[in-house]
Amino acid sequence: MVIMPGSEAVAAGDIARLAGVGRAAVSNWRRRFPDFPQPVGGSSASPLFALAEVEDWLSRHDKPFRLTPVDRVWQSLRGAADLQLGDRIGYLGGFLVFLERDPAGWKSLADQPDAVVVERLVETARTVVPEFAPLITDAPDQDAVTIVRLAAEAADQEGSLAVFDFLCERYLEVHSRRHTVTPAAFASLMATLVASEAETILDPACGIGTLLLAAADSPSRKFRGQEVNRTAARIAAARLLLHTGDARVAVSDSLRSDAYAGELFDAVVCNPPFGDRSWGHDELTGDARWEYGLPPRGEPELAWVQHCLRHVRPGGRVAILMPGAAASRRSGRRIRSNLLRAGALRAVICLPATGPAGTVAPDVWLMQRPDGARRPDEVLMVDACSEPAGAVQAWAAFSAGSELPAGSRAVPIIDLLDDDVDLSPARHLAAAGTPSSAFPPVLAALSAAVDALVPALPDLTDIPSSDVPVMTTVGELVRTGAVTIRQAPMKMGTAEDGPVPVLTARDVRLGRSASGTAVPLPGAVTLKAGDVVTPLAPRASAVHVATEGGPLLGPRLYLLRVDPEQVDPYFLAGFLRATRPGSGSGGSSLAGRLDIRRTRLPRLPLSEQRRIGAAFRRLMAFETRLREATALGEEIVERGFVGLGDGTLRPTTAD
């Protein structure tokens, strides 16, 4: 069991957290103070600093710094190579389970010299925690005992569970891209849908155990998981064993080497790998699990669907996260059709998009293994994009045969068995619209939006050409310190719990608020009120002025932060907008990327900047209202055609 400690090291994010400040403050300290400690490891994007040097610097500069015992454990783990960090944390989790189950055994062992602890720790832990024994592949180094003793001290104060949860949280902040973690809201929904009466639950692609943990609200439940990544399996096993009483995690590929072949469970939850074309199509062609059809090579998710159904008892439920495209791909229509005909597919629930760019919009397929009873004749379609938890209410109403809430519909299976077998909730919920009841309020909203358009415009007038002021550039403003230009990292880490909102390039183009989510990794840029944001290589004119701080700056965006005593943000934003593609002026570009420093703008007093900036601001507000009015106009036209066509609308006068 290798838990090699290095010299205690901290990342910039650790310093910020322990000092109770934001990451920007740590970046400022590094720039402003020549005596700030130099990096001792890590990379240029994520440097590591010696903890002792940081503590000394903070003390000399009278800055508060609180290092708890569990922080000391984390920093000791963090000091070694990042590639080993997950394994070290997984092994330490196994030790914490041993400590939780047999504190007297550890106390007796802890009194021995380090060499004796090294010799006896693994065998003792395997005896006390047999569920973790298959995951232990090597013995600890003598130096690892230092971290083990630190962890035991921390657990004595805060509890083994709190210590390990803290370490896992820190680990995911550092390596969010290394593991696929199901968002907490999705995991809670899936567990609620299938596990209400389940005593045994399986996740055949369990990752670090998030989905199973979402169902760990009953001490009598038995949890089983399988994961191809041994590091993730160790972490999952430790998390489950600390949170629950009965859990096992096997290490292997579930599709190629099923660790639970022949076993049936009350419920199955799964977030399988999307788009994995090397899932074993050729070698598994004749597999008995393909009861509903051989999964196409490009549809690995349909292999996971049938694997999950194979492991649930008759009448038991499966909740599996699926890419939205899996509901409509032509290659999978035969299997979708067979699932419907057998009564195995009970609901399709669309969920909000996730990721820094908000590009992954998954569905939950809720299935039930046929038990010989009467086959259902309807499938529930739910739009849970705004509130995933609302799907629970829809499923309860559907199951009870009562009235369904808004955003859901029971679709007859016979209506789905056409040439496409399209199970996309958006398609069937749109078809169930009620234009006759919605037409008047939409018309009223459109009328109000149109009436508000012209008054929103600023009063503008021509000026003589001789009055055009002297011009400057953004580059000159940067050199004088009036403007600072920032860019976010090209890649950002996603998160399942408490993600920070991210303003994406698409948000800027559409004129909407931040829609993405991410972990604030080193190098992340947090927006402040008054920041001006514009895309690096825009396809059309687009600029955004932040009205409040908090969201992170997304990739492929420029952020211009002004000194409000020298430059008005809306004044700057207006001239940036005037020189972007499609505006017909200014700004040179190379390979579609604008050289923003060459953007020209007048050299004016701040009072005049603010007057012009206010006009630009009104133009931006007008543009937003115009976009809303256009959307309402398109909606009223569509509702009119549909309502007249299906007979739910009729003209009030004869023309």
Provide the pLDDT for residue 266.
Answer: 96
Q: Which carries the bigger pLDDT value, residue 465 or residue 333?
A: 333
Cα(502)–Cα(554) distance, integer angstroms: 6
In 3D, which of 43, 377, 500, 2 has the Cα closest to residue 12? Answer: 43
pLDDT at 589 over 50: no
Cα-atom radius of gyration of the chain, to the nearest Å?
29
Pairing of strands 222-227, 312-323: unpaired
The DSSP bridge partners found for residue 409 are 381
Count CA within 13 A, CB hemisphere, residue 203: 37
Element (H, E) at 136: none
- Give the Cβ contact number of residue 142 at 10 Å: 13
What confidence score (pLDDT) does residue 506 get? 81
Q: Give the confidence band of 566 by pLDDT, cuts at 50, 70, 90.
A: very high
The vertex-55 CA angle with 50 and 58, nearest 5°, equals: 125
Residue showing tokens 């004129």: 511
- Gap between the Cα atoms of 586 and 360, Å rounded: 36
Mean pLDDT score, 206-223: 90
Q: Which of 416, 421, 255 is nearest to 332 (CA)?
A: 421
When the pLDDT of each residue in the chain is averaged and rounded to a whole number, the result is 84
The dihedral built from the CA positions of residue 458, 464, 467 and 473, taken in this order, carries a sign that is: positive
Picking from 193, 198, 208, 287, the residue whose alpha carbon sits closest to that of residue 242 is: 208
Which residues on neighbouring strands pair with residue 248, listed in sequence order?
224
Please give the C-alpha separations between residue 433 and each of 87, 631, 635, in angstroms, as whole numbers: 52, 17, 12
Q: What pLDDT score does 592 carry? A: 45
Strand ranges, E, within 51-204: 200-203
Whole-number pLDDT of residue 594? 59
Looking at 265-279, 384-398, 422-436, 636-650, which range is the least confident one?
A: 422-436
| Mean pLDDT within 71-90 | 76
pLDDT the model gives residue 646:
66
Lowest mean pLDDT: which of 78-82, 181-185, 260-264?
78-82
pLDDT of residue 495: 45
- Contact (CB, 8 A) for 58 and 16: no
Bridge partners of 502, per DSSP, are: 516, 552
Q: Which of 346, 360, 325, 361 is nearest to 408 (CA)?
A: 346
Question: Which residue carries 């009119």 as its tokens?
Answer: 640
Strands of the sheet containing 9-11, edge to edge, are: 9-11, 47-50, 41-42
Instruction: Name the nearest CA neighbour of 564 among 533, 529, 597.
Output: 529
Query: Would you state the structure tokens that stand for residue 43, as one six-digit string?
Result: 């990379």
- The pLDDT, as a whole number, for residue 580 is 60
Percent of the chain with pLDDT over 70: 88
Tell me: pLDDT of 496 over 70: no
CB atoms near residue 121 (< 10 Å): 22
Mean pLDDT of 549-564: 87
Location of structure tokens 């720790």: 121
- Where b means 16+ CB within 10 Å and e means fewer, 332-354 reads bbebbbbbbeebbbbbbbbbbbb
pLDDT class for 236, splitting at 50, 70, 90? very high
Would you place residue 584 in the very low, low, confident or very high pLDDT band (cuts 50, 70, 90)? very low
For residue 624, how far is the Cα from the chain centroid? Answer: 28
CB atoms within 10 A of CB 574: 23
* Strand spans (E) along 434-482: 471-473
Domain ranges of the chain: 9-174, 184-431, 470-603
Mean pLDDT of 280-293: 93
Q: How confident is the model at residue 82 (pLDDT cuts 50, 70, 90)?
A: low
pLDDT at 159 over 70: yes
Q: What is the pLDDT of residue 7?
A: 54
Label residue 96 by pLDDT band (50, 70, 90). Answer: very high
CATH 1.20.1340.10 fits 470-603, yes or no: no
pLDDT value for 258:
96
Question: Which structure tokens are listed for 40?
Answer: 């001792």
Residue 272 DSSP class: P
Task: Enter the pTM of the model.
Answer: 0.65
Question: How much of the chain exceeds pLDDT 90, in percent?
Answer: 39
Cβ atoms of residues 233 and 227 within 8 Å: yes
Looking at residue 433, what is its pLDDT?
52
Q: Is the pLDDT of residue 67 over 70?
A: yes
pLDDT tens track for 522-547: 778 888 889 999 888 655 578 889 88
pLDDT surpasses 80 at 170: yes
CA 170 to chain centre: 16
What confidence category does residue 436 fall into, taking pLDDT thresholds of 50, 70 and 90?
very low
What pLDDT does 241 receive?
94
What CATH topology corresponds to 184-431? Rossmann fold (3.40.50)
What is d(CA 576, CA 563) in angstroms, rounded to the nearest whole number?
17
The answer to whether residues 290 and 306 touch, using CB atoms and an 8 Å cutoff, is yes
Q: How far apart are CA 48 and CA 46, in angstroms?
A: 7
Q: Are 65 and 207 in contact (CB under 8 A)?
A: no
Q: How far apart are CA 290 and CA 302, in angstroms?
A: 9
Mean pLDDT of 358-364: 75
Residues 171 and 86: beta-carbon distance below 8 Å: yes
Instruction: Mean pLDDT check: name the lowest of 155-164, 350-359, 389-398, 499-508.
Output: 350-359
- What whole-number distance in Å separates Cα of residue 263 and Cα of residue 269? 15
- The answer to whether the beta carbons of residues 77 and 89 sit under 8 Å apart is yes
Backbone angles phi, psi at 34, to 5 degrees: -60, -25
Query: Tokens 């009104």 — which residue?
Result: 618
**Can you tell me the distance from the alpha carbon of 216 to that of 223, in angstroms, rounded to the nearest whole number?**
9
Residues 6 or more apart whose CB falls under 8 angstroms from that of 262 comprise none
The more confident residue out of 420 and 455 is: 420
Residue 357 contacts residue 506 (beta carbons within 8 Å): yes
Taking 3-state DSSP, the helix, strand and coil percentages for the chain, each rounded to the nearest 5, stand at 45, 15, 40
291 pLDDT band, cuts 50/70/90, is very high
- Give the Cα separation of 238 and 207 in Å (integer): 12
Q: How far is CA 643 from the centre of its chain?
A: 39
* Pick from 124-138, 199-213, 379-393, 453-467: least confident: 453-467
Strand order in the sheet with 516-518: 516-518, 500-503, 552-553
- Look at residue 568 in the predicted model and tell me its pLDDT: 93
Amino acid of residue 433? G
Read off φ and ψ for residue 559, nearest 5 degrees: -120, 125
Residue with the bigger pLDDT between 465 and 383: it is 383
How high is the pLDDT of residue 171?
86
pLDDT at 176: 65
647, with CB counted inside 10 A (0-12, 13-18, 19+), is: exposed
SS (H, E, C) 224-266: EEEECCHHHHHHHHHHHHHHCCEEEEEECCCCCCCCCCCCCEE
